[in-house]
Structure 1
């Protein structure tokens, strides 16, 4: 930690009266070099301690009063420092080479896997982990209290005097100092929730019921709860990998831990009348997703008593400077250790420099009132489609006084009052509105319960319309509206024509999520960019408005679409939908692209427009999907769930002048998987078959990509309509190694780049009858039936934290005229 930051502690001393002992400083060796991973703790309570950072700095903050600080590390003599003052920020500890603590048996000074006693203890932890804690009982129940807080950190005088906070200076009366980092912070948001948790180990079932929730404002409770659940997912330290921010970190208790961590048996002591060993661990290599810290483990059950984990500063993760975790376990009896308290702090920042300002995200979870072996019927654990409990969001102060398992401190109590005042400040209202616009894409017009947008769709371009301007909006009374109407109009300055779209939906029954929807649209569209397409009235493909394309994009379609649908959710994340639709399809650029087909009833024998009425039945299953809100629209808050979809479409001739009879069966499967420490694999499988004769506009087009953007589930080296099928099977695989390979190359390590590889292929067929039917079209009709078409790509992600570039190679069908053997695509995005 930079020494200059210590000045802030002195300035803010009067604002931090809650803690009883605060110490901070640096640890060095005799040569003056910083000592990383040294163990710093209070002699009176060895379980209260930290590990020094890469620069040898440390900071400890506790509500208790302690008199002696102990600093130790294998190979150095232990130092004890008397604490003469309650607050000491400038301690400098010099470790000299010498013997380790007398209680510890050290076999050798290196970290050998064979001769290391810490590794022997680790193996016993692995053997016992499935019989410790809640696993010992058939059934279990407990209460859970969760407190989440977000704070501005690194508050200094310059920030206080900034024009940004002019008129809001009163908020700085609530600044405090972090007990983990020693940095000043200002609480800005707090959310509290109380749950009842029930589980059955025999059934493998667990259910969590929210009984109370409240927050300090700014947004609806449902939004905050969903955001928190995704940002701070539950984890088990005994698992091999701990997943945070879509990244898999190797647990220090992992069976693969001995390959990525160094372990040192550092101490032994009685904790809660149980003899425990203290093991310090730190990573063997930089830039990997690992932790540093220590843990105390019982010598009989080999259950963890206390553990702390801190993500190393060099870890390949964006926008997060620090992650710190503490877990405390309660000794219930001689053989049972149960989780008592879980604390996690994340320091979000634009960069990892010590002085950089950012936001703390802190979650504290307390567990109590355990009850065991109280059996409940299987039906008790069945998930509800709509678990919203209105009473939980309207609890009085008496409920919170009795239900909190950990009391709020004085600063936390003041947050509610401070934020209520802050929301009345005009300048803050403007800042909050700006943040909302950037986050949602809509400008709220509260007076009329209307949102204008999305603003990101205002401008577009294609060869039919030229420059395209779009205006639109939606009704908006709140996140949980039971009904909503949306619409837009657009104008093309080249074709001088207006387009429009309007849709509406209403939630008729919350218990089954019975929804009735419908809409109408007249627009220009690039169809055939998705195999498993849905008739979304307001949806618009990525290729319809691309300013820059590879070659000429002249395969656009004038589309008229009307739909009416009903859907319901009989079981959680299981959606059944029936939809009727009528489409009219005609080429938007008939001089270069034709959708014509043979029609013996036409005077010319050729028809240029396809009119089709369809009935579609779909079943979609999304296990482990989490959603935001309980109104007619819900927003996904996680993306790590699988999606299974089965669609059956029936084209019915003569209904509303429909032209064709046919049936289409389609299957869609998508699965993102965190492959341990090797990154994240995303896979998609699609298959489909059309029964009956249909023209080009109703066939399944293999999705090409003539833009310069990397878009998953498309083929970047295919042009639009290069392959057309009535039968297909498509597979896409993309793996992001999250820097595991680049992190081991010295010249690339500091750049935190991430390597991405992809393989994709498709097999398809097209009947002679369908080819003959679409003979008048201007493009050659071919399918990848001789052999599956395939591509592969190599990409580099996280360039400047926001950019990705992919190099795409075509595997075969290189003899097709105009075939593109190679392409370069890229994408912008923010990810951890």
Structure 2
């Protein structure tokens, strides 16, 4: 065959492939040119469709060939137009119908519920939601295929022709067009996983075991940071719940009962889908600036369950860094009584700007469910066992295996992505771009098997050390490292001292996560900046920094800390730890004293103490990434319960004090429907026996200009000292629920926060007598008024404005009592920076 014939065949094949799909876009308006929001746009004689946005704009794509487009809008005549070419642009003009419905029209405001056939249909769905799908079976099994992908989007010639990409032009051969938004995109990361899922339905709960069978990935970062990021955003959700949680926020579900107060529903069509008669309902939000969706759903007759649903986050929703979010869920009907999940698709368009033409990143997750089987009961212990995620077979699955178990065939671009990305990572210029991104995201500079950093801790300042320079790093071979060494050294130009910290951890049992650790730190720190005792040898409180302090940063402690521990996690999210801790503590500044009176009546300036301790940490619903000695949390909506006991041995290693210390920490975040998220933190503790000030419990103050978690914004350091305490912090973020209703504030996407904090505590007379030299030196302790501990509950409250310019939060604090204390702060303003959606 000649070269010319080959070229002709290639051109014909390309043309055939191009037209074996349909892509259209446009706008829907009335005869006066006013955009019609939430109009139904479908390919005629199909169920493939979309709903126009608030501006009447739509984009629709299908892998199948369609010749006609059908557009409808309640109160207007339905219109059908021919499709003549790919990416054809339509301006659809609809005329008002002469027999339009008087009570059901798609306009701003609320459609009456009474007599609405869509609401009547949804009521049948709500009545059946607890008895549909997998809940019908005592036990079940299925295979799950998941594909996660990151793509650069809105790539134009001004980007691809930049000098920085010279020598990397081959990358742009992989550009394709999104079927959801119509934007072009370039894949930069892909991960594929196959799971075997086993479930058991009990009377009031469901037990699920999920085994990873195969995994394959390539792209920027080899998956560590990217996978953490994407899994943190895309949590599992149930469309039948009242609220769907995405990006740390609660979106009102269009299928939940609460949707009737948030959405307008219109019964638009009916059709036979996969042999099942279904009804089409269009829904859209009644009000702007709320966390809502717009789209449509198909309800299967007889079973009265959702067959297919499309959900697109409203443009006016109070979200940062996100231009679009699209969710799609499909179910298959096995028979007249069984409907099961078949496909789940999620796509978010992340961008620094919401301008349509600005570049961004698509984050996509596609999940398929197949090979269902039922009535194959397992023993109770089966669901408690964990699969071996370290097995080599998981990460070395052959291409033949993937072709058999990949429930969605990779398209042309995805097939080439593994080769393209592996090649891209060898290009020097790209490696420089990637390394810069890693530094900004993690704070570390990557070298082979070693990370330098955190770079943001390199420079600091306080009144004791003066200018401080720090260098450090960690070993890093991968996310499943069995051991890790971390360390740092620092130097203060004022105190002319070298500080350091070094730790080593090794996991010698993968399944039960048995870990041995040892570490030592010799450094200067602001102690008393937290109630619950920390034994972290590399930790350093933000309060230690004087760069952002509203007062003197000279109440610092010279800390020498050695920690040896064994930990185990025999059950997911229940961690046990046994530790041996040795502390040497003394004042690092002449500004105050940590002196105490010993048993012989002598004043001692240094505390030397040895403890043997035991701790339990329970974190239900926590999800983690990685299986090595150190893991990352990929969600923050789980409760934390921590209980610790420490015994201070006076006769061991020259220790001075005999005491027992019991502490409990409990943090509970929870969502309150559509009005936001509340976080409560409770800390209680008691020290039985006598101890020096350095070992007692200081109610944590905050003298910086910034918010510090679990501290009191208007307390000075060492203003209250206790040996028995209780502390409660309450904060609620309304997520813009109030500001969103104020016209001149609505577009700023501000978010309201209210909070109150309280602390109660006592201290024994023996501990007061023991620590009198130290108490007399503390500048903020009111020794004369005998308010060393807050025996009358101390409290303060705050009102905050979050999301200022998308990155800044400003809080206004008021002090409730103890106004007579020396230099008491009655009012304060503090800020914080953060990246939130």
TM-score where L is the length of structure 2: 0.94
Tell me the residue number matched to 2:820: 815
Residue 755 to residue 92, structure 1, CA distance change in 2 (3 Å)? same
Preserved CA contact (<8 Å) 1:15 1:175: no
- Structure 1, 481-490 or 717-726: larger mean CA deviation: 481-490
Count of aligned pairs between the two proteins: 810
Residue 786 to residue 621, structure 1, CA distance change in 2 (3 Å)? closer
Any idea what SS the aligned residue of 1:563 has?
Answer: strand
Tell me the residue number matched to 1:10: none
Residue 385 to residue 766, structure 1, CA distance change in 2 (3 Å)? farther
Residue 310 to residue 542, structure 1, CA distance change in 2 (3 Å)? same
Preserved CA contact (<8 Å) 1:108 1:115: no
Alignment of 1:250-269 (within 5 A): 250-269=252-271
Residue 97 to residue 704, structure 1, CA distance change in 2 (3 Å)? same
Cα distance in 2 between the residues matched to 1:445 and 1:197: 38
Q: Please tell me whether residue 368 in structure 1 is matched to residue 373 in structure 2.
A: no
Preserved CA contact (<8 Å) 1:482 1:631: yes
Show structure 1 runs of 5+ residues with no match: 1-12
Preserved CA contact (<8 Å) 2:484 2:504: yes
Tell me the residue number matched to 2:672: 675
CA displacement at 1:554 relative to structure 2: 2.5
Show structure 2 runs of 5+ residues with no match: 1-13
Any idea what SS the aligned residue of 1:500 has?
Answer: strand
Q: Please tell me whether residue 319 in structure 1 is matched to residue 324 in structure 2.
A: no
Cα distance in 2 between the residues matched to 1:379 and 1:632: 26
Tell me the residue number matched to 1:8: none
Cα distance in 1 between the residues matched to 2:790 and 2:700: 16
CA displacement at 1:555 relative to structure 2: 1.4
CA displacement at 1:219 relative to structure 2: 3.6
CA displacement at 1:516 relative to structure 2: 1.4
Cα distance in 2 between the residues matched to 1:206 and 1:106: 50
Preserved CA contact (<8 Å) 2:667 2:679: yes
Cα distance in 2 between the residues matched to 1:18 and 1:249: 38
Cα distance in 1 between the residues matched to 2:657 and 2:104: 81
Residue 630 to residue 273, structure 1, CA distance change in 2 (3 Å)? closer
Residue 450 to residue 387, structure 1, CA distance change in 2 (3 Å)? closer
Any idea what SS the aligned residue of 2:491 has?
Answer: strand
Tell me the residue number matched to 2:581: 581
Cα distance in 1 between the residues matched to 2:427 and 2:322: 30
Residue 192 to residue 359, structure 1, CA distance change in 2 (3 Å)? same
Any idea what SS the aligned residue of 2:641 has?
Answer: strand
Query: Aligned match of 1:655 in 652, 656, 672?
Result: 652
Preserved CA contact (<8 Å) 2:77 2:96: yes
Cα distance in 1 between the residues matched to 2:311 and 2:72: 18
CA displacement at 1:829 relative to structure 2: 0.8
Cα distance in 2 between the residues matched to 1:773 and 1:334: 78
Q: Please tell me whether residue 804 in structure 1 is matched to residue 809 in structure 2.
A: yes
Preserved CA contact (<8 Å) 1:15 1:176: no
Preserved CA contact (<8 Å) 2:720 2:790: no
CA displacement at 1:478 relative to structure 2: 2.9
Q: Please tell me whether residue 790 in structure 1 is matched to residue 795 in structure 2.
A: yes
TM-score where L is the length of structure 1: 0.94
Tell me the residue number matched to 1:554: 554
Preserved CA contact (<8 Å) 2:546 2:552: no
Tell me the residue number matched to 1:625: 622
Cα distance in 2 between the residues matched to 1:805 and 1:643: 27
Cα distance in 2 between the residues matched to 1:369 and 1:463: 66
Tell me the residue number matched to 1:740: 737
Q: Please tell me whether residue 729 in structure 1 is matched to residue 729 in structure 2.
A: no
Any idea what SS the aligned residue of 1:286 has?
Answer: coil
- Structure 1, 699-708 or 427-436: larger mean CA deviation: 427-436
Cα distance in 2 between the residues matched to 1:14 and 1:719: 73
Residue 44 to residue 600, structure 1, CA distance change in 2 (3 Å)? closer
Tell me the residue number matched to 1:6: none
Preserved CA contact (<8 Å) 2:74 2:104: no
Tell me the residue number matched to 2:21: 20
CA displacement at 1:119 relative to structure 2: 1.5
Alignment of 1:700-711 (within 5 A): 700-711=697-708
Write the deviation string for residues 267-322 of structure 1: whole angstroms up to 9, x where unpaired: 12222232222111111111111000011112322111111110011111111110
Query: Aligned match of 2:400 in 387, 398, 401?
Result: 398
Alignment of 1:459-470 (within 5 A): 459-470=459-470
Any idea what SS the aligned residue of 2:419 has?
Answer: helix
Tell me the residue number matched to 2:33: 32
Any idea what SS the aligned residue of 2:290 has?
Answer: coil
CA displacement at 1:755 relative to structure 2: 0.6
Tell me the residue number matched to 2:523: 523
Tell me the residue number matched to 1:432: 434
Any idea what SS the aligned residue of 1:686 has?
Answer: strand
Cα distance in 1 between the residues matched to 2:479 and 2:70: 53
Residue 721 to residue 86, structure 1, CA distance change in 2 (3 Å)? same
Cα distance in 2 between the residues matched to 1:293 and 1:710: 40
Tell me the residue number matched to 2:747: 750
Any idea what SS the aligned residue of 2:18 has?
Answer: coil
Cα distance in 2 between the residues matched to 1:564 and 1:291: 52
